[in-house]
Amino acid sequence: MTTDRRGAREPILQVKGLVKHFPLTRGVLFRKQVGAVRAVDGVDFDLYPGETLGVVGESGCGKSTVARVLMNLEPPTSGRVLYKGEDITRLSGPALKAVRRNIQMVFQDPYTSLNPRMTVGDIVGEPFDIHPEVAPRGDRRRRVRELLDVVGLNPEYVNRYPHQFSGGQRQRIGIARGLALNPEIIICDEPVSALDVSVQAQVVNLMERLQREFGLAYVFIAHDLSIVRHICDRVAVMYLGRIVETGGDAQIYEHPTHPYTQALLSAVPVPDPDARGGRDRILLTGDVPSPAAVPSGCRFRTRCWKAEPRCEERMPELAVPRAFRDSGTPAEHPSACHFAQERVRVLPGEEPVN
């Protein structure tokens, strides 16, 4: 499925060499830069129309900063974000406005991302004030009701306020607003992590349905590996500002070759008590280093059980490891490790299906 999609079409969004550093300064009168938080430090990926790309990683890995740069909410330190071949980080004025119409965002926290003093109708209809060409004035009310209906909310609720809704319903309001301008891409930053389990499934299903109906491409940023597996066609694993491994969902989940991905997957508790102890658990020691003091060479080496002097000296590139090049196996996907190795049985449970 993934290969068909990729072969057939041009990517809709290309991220090339994206870097975002936040300067650390000292001094009040004479501010001088004493360092930088290297939140994103060289990220490349492509997004194809209609697909879902998952970006996973732990807190501080830079995944949310990537989202903010993609939305042009932050200018990158360097690198390019190409929407249909055009670098959006250099746009301004009407050209930027036109691009933004097509790239929308859904935020994590449905409690703070909706203005409490606006009615649902105003929240969902607000994008039309900025882009009046999408819906003529007289038609807005109808459009808003339609949007509420699409996301499974009662259209009669247009005059209610956000506090009158539950978390799941608020997230639906956020999604309705994201859909208002018929975008092609939606950047979702932890869209379901604030929701209860039983409501999470409803919102995930809604997002999948909308993708089918409107041909949306999602960049799905999350720390929950199970949800990412469920919803994504392709996955990029981030660690300290860089992508360490990327591939199709089965490639990453069933044939990971980067030690960090392997450790991450093995740490996820699986809801099956029979699998207890039956899996190959990798317990990492220590914490993620601060992005203001990134280790030399491979960033993961300080926690990696395979680290050798070479890892300190040379930063591994994100490429298909030599051992798997042209192997035709699922392990043939980019992995930024000098000692990339396949590890089967990272996950418990049944044998991998195909």
Partner 1 sequence: MDTLTESPLVPRTDTLLDVRDLHVEFRTRDGIAKAVNGVSYAVARGETLAVLGESGSGKSVTVQAVMGILDSPPGFVTRGEILFRGENLLTMPADQRRKVRGAKMAMIFQDALSALNPVLTVGYQLGEMFVVHRGMSRRDARAMAVELMDRVRIPAARQRVGDYPHQFSGGMRQRIMIAMAMALEPDLIIADEPTTALDVTVQAQVMDLLAELRQEMGMGLILITHDLGVVADVADRIAVMYAGRIVETAPVHDIYRAPAHPYTKGLLESIPRLDRKGKELYAIRGLPPSLTDVPPGCAFNPRCPMARERCRTEVPPLYRVTAERGSACHYWEECVGDD
Phi and psi at 190, nearest 5°, equal 50, 55
Long-range contacts (CB closer than 8 Å, 24 or more residues apart) made by 150-157: 150/176, 150/179, 150/210, 150/213, 151/175, 151/176, 151/179, 151/206, 151/210, 152/202, 152/206, 153/120, 157/120
Among 64, 72, 169, 171, indicate the residue that binds partner 1 (CB under 8 A): 169
The 3-class SS string of 171-194 reads: HHHHHHHHHCCCCCEEEEECCCCC
User: Is residue 58 a contact point for partner 1 (CB under 8 A)?
Assistant: yes
Among 36, 275, 292, 320, indicate the residue that binds partner 1 (CB under 8 A): 275
Residue whose CB is less far from partner 1, 70 or 231: 231
Among 114, 225, 298, 304, indicate the residue that binds partner 1 (CB under 8 A): 225
- 3 state SS of 104: strand
Rounded to whole angstroms, the Cα distance separating 118 from 116 reads: 6
Among 270, 292, 294, 320, indicate the residue that binds partner 1 (CB under 8 A): 270
Contact set for partner 1, span 200-219 (CB under 8 A): 200-202, 204-205, 208
Residue whose CB is less far from partner 1, 45 or 253: 253
| Minimum CB distance to partner 1, residue 243 (Å) | 17
Q: Binding mask 13-52 vs partner 1 (x if CB under 8 A, - otherwise)?
A: ----------------------------------------
CB 68, CB 22: distance < 8 Å: no
Among 5, 84, 160, 223, indicate the residue that binds partner 1 (CB under 8 A): 223
User: Is residue 326 a contact point for partner 1 (CB under 8 A)?
Assistant: no
User: Is residue 92 a contact point for partner 1 (CB under 8 A)?
Assistant: no
The dihedral through the CA atoms of 167, 173, 178, 179 has a sign that is positive
| Minimum CB distance to partner 1, residue 140 (Å) | 28
Contact set for partner 1, span 283-302 (CB under 8 A): 283-288
User: Is residue 94 a contact point for partner 1 (CB under 8 A)?
Assistant: no
Tokens coding 184: 């092609």
Among 186, 243, 265, 331, indicate the residue that binds partner 1 (CB under 8 A): 265
Which H or E run includes 18? strand 13-26
CB 258, CB 237: distance < 8 Å: yes
User: Is residue 74 a contact point for partner 1 (CB under 8 A)?
Assistant: no
| Minimum CB distance to partner 1, residue 103 (Å) | 26
Tokens coding 165: 């809704």
Among 51, 245, 249, 342, indicate the residue that binds partner 1 (CB under 8 A): 249
Tokens coding 350: 């049944």
User: Is residue 109 a contact point for partner 1 (CB under 8 A)?
Assistant: no
User: Is residue 185 a contact point for partner 1 (CB under 8 A)?
Assistant: no
Rounded to whole angstroms, the Cα distance separating 196 from 83 reads: 35
User: Is residue 268 a contact point for partner 1 (CB under 8 A)?
Assistant: yes
In whole angstroms, what separates CA 108 from the centre of its chain?
11
User: Is residue 251 a contact point for partner 1 (CB under 8 A)?
Assistant: no
